[in-house]
Chain A
């Protein structure tokens, strides 16, 4: 394979590293060297660390590029590396059975990548890789030849709205801040990302930290901020590390620091502030309190942070994804950006597609795409060919969209109308085996535990909601309890101080709206999805039981009795409903009802 340009790209996001990316990388380095490829092709063989490329379920993903021809391998471990080096790199024959299949290509086909366009393709630890794909051009253009007002105008025209949940128009936020006179202003990047199951912002920072930094620089220039913070949770060590490297490189290249790009008046730098993993610290006023060294508790607005934020100064807070969009909008134009999406929701949105879908992972789609296309085309449909039941969007602040509304458009307005939200982009696919009451309970447990405790409706109200749900999943609920859930839920929404409490009842209210019959079944002592433990009974179906005794051996409560080769029985008064017998029986002789 002499004189060919060989490139190897290994997925090294958190998912890739967890699946063994580091070892795969080491194995490649070692085998390239021992095969002598290093000697002949060393200069051309670039071994990049790249960030997340979305399809985390198939990690470790490896691209081999030979003179621009790309082959992508999935589920690669270090043991597989010698064969790839030998057969593919040396002999020139890709190993077909290890390459990605049709679903990998489908996964990418309907996506439109703006924020993620360079994630997975460039080395996030090398500023030159970002510069090579056009990075920091937008900064140079803005700083050298545009006024802050001209920059804001482009962002306003693009129609970009905040990706952190509330969907506030970004250009407008910047404009308000720009107009306020103050000796000091701040821009903060909100990378707290506390929703369970969300990993959009983390992947963007791990895969392309410079885009976020560039977004902040352009924002700082527009509003006149000299100080910047990235508030990021300490549970994201890789993202923090890459951000640190990127900040250092940006300073070395004079994109940050004093006299940016030689412009005497332009001083701006960014500090990293680690959060301790509290969901509520993603709320902007709590986040500010946390940076100031106080307990992360929201305060009432007004005044909004753009008027009085960090240390009482005008402050713009933007989400990671919002900021990462900025350099691309600046480079490619507001018209290009707003050509994607719907009338009121422009551009693309990154979602973390998880749950009972075949291809789970990080996706980026144009706003307004029908949910059906996400689930069936990109996601490849439901796992195990089960029936789709609902899609939960917006995490603990969101709601469930039932299967019969699958043609709904994924934009701010449509989702709000359906009782859910786009939120930060969590998307959990639920099938017939998921109990909606239990799903609501799961999210309520989360919000209750994460409530900051400041206000009564959220602190005590969500606890009471949770207690009622608990009662229902135990079969002790009544029709009155359902009414009380609705009443208390709506009161909590009206009376809570911050967005956490104001949205916490959504998972209950939306499931009650679309799946009331499932709640009612629980009142009658049945869990249709067979999830709620207290409502299940396990029994042996005599005609299938071979008397193998497997269930008897696994039962931790000694509830199974029976002689060898004769049908066994389960004593329901001893049974603790762990389901071990059900799982172990090879003859489907244990019934769960």
Chain B
């Protein structure tokens, strides 16, 4: 363990820990925008600068490993002044239309602007103006709101292993985009959306569906596959308007395209609400669960008697849990008496 003194508080952290991690462990707040605990440090937003005894200039706490006996100061008038300059610079190149932004109330940038009381901007000047033209089905990319924190780029590369987006151009014109500025054409896992600290990346399906304060969050498990990622349904007036996932869950907040964006079936009018029985004359009629189950049991027995158990096959679903699938094969083998059982994920 390495000993460190931050703002007069002593602590011990394991080798390789950064100053920021040590500070957070000691409950000392340091503002950040580009830092994400699950991604490699970037050091671009410069908000987490601190003073370290023996180093002549401020350094970013997110990139600096703690060394034995290090003495750190996280807040001085000079540091806060630099932070305010940096924030003002970011906001001087930002649409600042929080009133209409999907992320209002749930945006790190907005929070910091409030905290640092950035009202007037000494650096007002040209702003990057981009046309919103990405025709992909899931992700809204409003690059005028992008602060180039690089989180999306890192998440895409380090978590998803896809590298569908990266920095392009230089200087003030720097921009995050897919190669050749084509429309995004990737796995649409949405990890980038999950890590974006601003309103630059949001779900297309989320737009104008409600502010976070009016939303009830319901923690549950994703029903799509047996992996069982933890998800949080954002419910407004009994409608699921967005799905997110918490970093504290075992899947660390990462989801796949289906889990993150494929929730519209929940409220779909086409979704079955009762069992249906196919009539001899053709067409379906609604039935109760008891009736449907009895009917199925009766027919299975009849077929087994007449044609033998191997005339029946069972196919189960990846969307069921392991336990369900176990029971299903047991049912096929023990109750029906056949090995004709398979699973959609094996196809």
Contact = CB atoms under 8 A, between A and B. Distances in A.
Interface of A: 278, 280, 295, 297, 299-300, 302-303, 448-457, 459-464, 467, 484, 487-488, 491, 494-497
5 contacts: A449-B171, A450-B171, A453-B172, A461-B123, A463-B93
A387 B58 CA distance: 42
B342 interface: no
A491 B171 contact: no
B251 interface: no
Q: Which of A278, A462, A488, A494 is packed against the most chain B CB atoms within 10 Å?
A: A494
B89 to A, nearest CB: 4
A460 B60 contact: no
Contact of A467 (B41, B43, B86, B125): B125
Contacts, number: 107
A569 to B, nearest CB: 38
Contact of A464 (B57, B63, B64, B89): B89
Nearest to A458: B171
Interface string B115-127: 0000000110110
A455 B171 CA distance: 10
Nearest 3 pairs between A and B by C-beta?
A453-B174, A300-B63, A300-B43
A495 B171 contact: no
Given A455-B46, A464-B89, 13 more contacts: A278-B170, A449-B171, A451-B172, A452-B170, A454-B42, A461-B85, A462-B171, A462-B172, A463-B126, A464-B125, A488-B85, A495-B82, A495-B85
A459 B59 CA distance: 18
B248 to A, nearest CB: 28
Contacts of B49: 495
A460 B85 contact: no
B171 A295 contact: no
A36 B170 CA distance: 59
Given A300-B60, A459-B172, A295 B85 contact: no
B58 A494 contact: yes
B58 A455 contact: no
A451 B171 contact: yes
Interface in B120-158: 122-123, 125-126, 147-148, 150
A449 B172 CA distance: 7
Contacts of B93: 460, 463
B302 to A, nearest CB: 66
Most chain A CB within 10 A, of B43, B58, B126, is at: B43
A448 B46 contact: no
A495 B170 contact: no
A2 B124 CA distance: 78
A580 B43 CA distance: 50
Contacts of B81: 491
Which range holds the interface residue count of chain B?
Answer: 35 or more
A295 B44 CA distance: 15
Given A300-B43, A300-B59, A467-B126, A460 B90 contact: yes
B63 A463 contact: no
A115 B59 CA distance: 37
B198 to A, nearest CB: 13
Nearest to A447: B171
A496 B45 CA distance: 9
B343 to A, nearest CB: 41
Contact of A484 (B58, B59, B60, B122): B122
B169 interface: yes
B253 interface: no
Given A464-B92, A488-B85, A488-B123, A448 B172 contact: yes
B217 interface: no
A302 B57 CA distance: 13
Contacts of B228: none
A450 B170 contact: yes
Given A495-B85, A497-B43, A456 B123 contact: no
A497 B92 contact: no
B167 interface: yes
A453 B89 contact: no
Contacts of B223: none
A456 B60 CA distance: 13
B205 interface: no
Contacts of A303: 65
A453 to B, nearest CB: 3
Given A451-B170, A497-B43, A497-B44, A457 B122 contact: no
Contacts of A467: 125-126
A495 B86 contact: yes
Nearest to A449: B171
A483 B122 CA distance: 11
Contact of B46 (A299, A451, A457, A488): A457
A495 B45 CA distance: 10
Nearest to A448: B171
A466 to B, nearest CB: 9
Contacts of A491: 81-82, 85-86
Nearest to B65: A302
B167 A295 contact: yes
Nearest to B41: A300
Interface string B26-69: 00000000000000011111100100000001111001110000
A463 B172 contact: yes
A457 B171 contact: no
